[in-house]
Amino acid sequence: MLFNSIDFAIFLPVVFVIYWLLSAEGIKKQNLFLVLASYIFYGWWDYRFLSLILFSTVVDYSIGIGLSKQADPKARKGLVWLSIGVNLGFLGFFKYYNFFLDNFISVFSFFGDTMDARALSIILPVGISFYTFQTLSYTIDVYRKKLRPTRDFVAFMAFVCFFPQLVAGPIERATHLLPQFMVERKFNYAMAADGLRQILWGLFKKVVIADNAAVIANEIFNNSDMYSGSTLLVGAVFFTFQIYGDFSGYSDVAIGTARLFGFDLKQNFAFPYFSRDMAEFWRRWHISLSTWFRDYVYIPLGGSRVGTWKKIRNTFIIFIVSGFWHGANWTFVVWGGLNAIYFLPLLLRNKNRVHTGTVAAGKYFPSLRESLGMLSTFGLTVLAWIFFRAENMPHAINYLATLFSKSLFTIPYFSGGKHAVKSLLLILLFLMIEWLGRTGKYAIENLPGRWNRSVRWIFYYLIALSIFWFGGEQQAFIYFQF
């Protein structure tokens, strides 16, 4: 069920009303209803894969109980590795089976041998990369004794399948979200109103920015051999805004929807395109995933508190694994490796924590140095996104070869030029609002608070009208494929 669909527009108010009517019955009935609603939400896509979520839930709940009863270090380690094996095993089969099979066949063919193996027609379950990492955070934290295992199975089910963030995050930690299912929740008007504002802004990002940018990006990337380098640059820039509007828009709707039900989810994007270097970018982009890899992969490997060569090794591991998490394609691996190359000079010179605050804090305009930093970081990001968007490595290489040819200095030309101009104007308006609201958790969290009530409501209505007036052709959320 898509957030930007009529189905969800009917589903959400019905669930909201029933959920709060059940508040008088206690949190157990509310939690049970959330599980039911979440299973309907996910089953709307394909009910057959509900069994995977249920199986993962039962396994990790049982392992958590087992860890609480087991004192022997070897037995505890065996249990946590069982959880890792089951979750990553399912993820590996559904997401990477054909990828590894194809590459094994290619290796055998390279050495003159033939390998008789058939690929399987495997449907990738929506959200499997997200909810497997979420349940893994539970068993790992219980193993590390950072969290006491729950014996409330319904609450644990709700934690695993909570519908606002089930299929595309944010990837919540058990230490943050699970305890919220254990306490009484009372309707809070201010929290719900804030949630609606964030939903509104998230839909604007998705429907107005991402879906319009997608039309241009798809046209150029899908026919890249027909266009000049300048046109390919336009396509890469539009994809850069498509993926940001698409994914951060989804996160905003997810976080806002959770707030309607009294839950607080972590911020997933913090205005990443205003970053002054690549280290800052990765603190602001897909925060829930980057911090997950930091805490469960990077730090256990030694993090940056090791020698130079191990720092380099750890950096490449974390970025390449992150790239591979996104999909079974060498383009994602190269995308991760390229970002590691961007990041390493900052880490090795101890410059990776220089920019931790808001850019141009307390000012309307950035300094020349900040502007150059943002521009160079944005340019590097645009180049990296080409690998992310390309169908395969030859496509990416040919795209870059044309991009950096003499035709880069020609006037861009492609079908849909008028639509591109309209989309560009919308993006500029979007960037202005994001810049003015960059101190909040989302752009319009605090921005309208400076205005009187009438102006605020006019502003909200204008955003709502723009969603209907300027909304592009409906596109599936990009991160549903991960």
Contact 370, 314 (CB under 8 A): no
Confirm whether 176 is a catalytic residue: no
Contact 67, 149 (CB under 8 A): yes
Distances (CA, A) of 183 to 165, 174, 263, 458: 20, 14, 11, 37
Contact 235, 224 (CB under 8 A): yes
Distances (CA, A) of 402 to 122, 226, 227, 238: 35, 10, 8, 17
Residue 433 zone, left/alpha/beta (φ > 0; ψ -120 to 50; rest) = alpha
Distances (CA, A) of 14 to 18, 111, 185, 397, 406: 6, 60, 18, 49, 57
Contact 268, 283 (CB under 8 A): no
Amino acid occupying residue 365: F
Amino acid occupying residue 380: L
Rounded Cα gap, residues 326 and 329, in angstroms = 9
Rounded Cα gap, residues 104 and 118, in angstroms = 12
Q: What angle do CA 402, 330, 385 make, to 5 degrees?
A: 50
Of the candidates 326, 355, 395, 419, the residue annotated as catalytic is: 326
What is the set of active-site residues? 326
